[in-house]
Structure 1
């Protein structure tokens, strides 16, 4: 099965789930940098070293910075 990734303002993507896969693995698979997004799963913020499960949905919130 897959992990569904919703990137706010950029749509949805699917990443094929692999056993032992982490949030960081999902981001790398999509060519994204972890310091550019806040990642949420099931309503809470998660770190890149947390494991994802088959069928999970991750929501990525782009980090906005500036002055």
Structure 2
């Protein structure tokens, strides 16, 4: 099974194949994304990049916006 990844502001969902011991950070790296650029929610709960992921999880990435 896979992990579904949705980036807010992007129309498409991505699928990442789950591997044993995988973390949120591993998912981001597999997609070529930096954790410092997103707030990450796993199954509706904000998590850190060292949070383990499971088969069938849904990860939503909220881009960090800064400026003035």
Regions of 4+ moved over 2 Å: none
Unaligned regions of 5+ residues in structure 1, if any? none
Q: TM-score, normalised by structure 1?
A: 0.96
CA RMSD, aligned part only?
Answer: 0.6
Mapping of residues 1-67 of structure 1, within 5 Å: 1-10=1-10, 11-67=12-68
Unpaired stretches in structure 2, ≥5 consecutive residues: none
TM-score by length of 2: 0.95
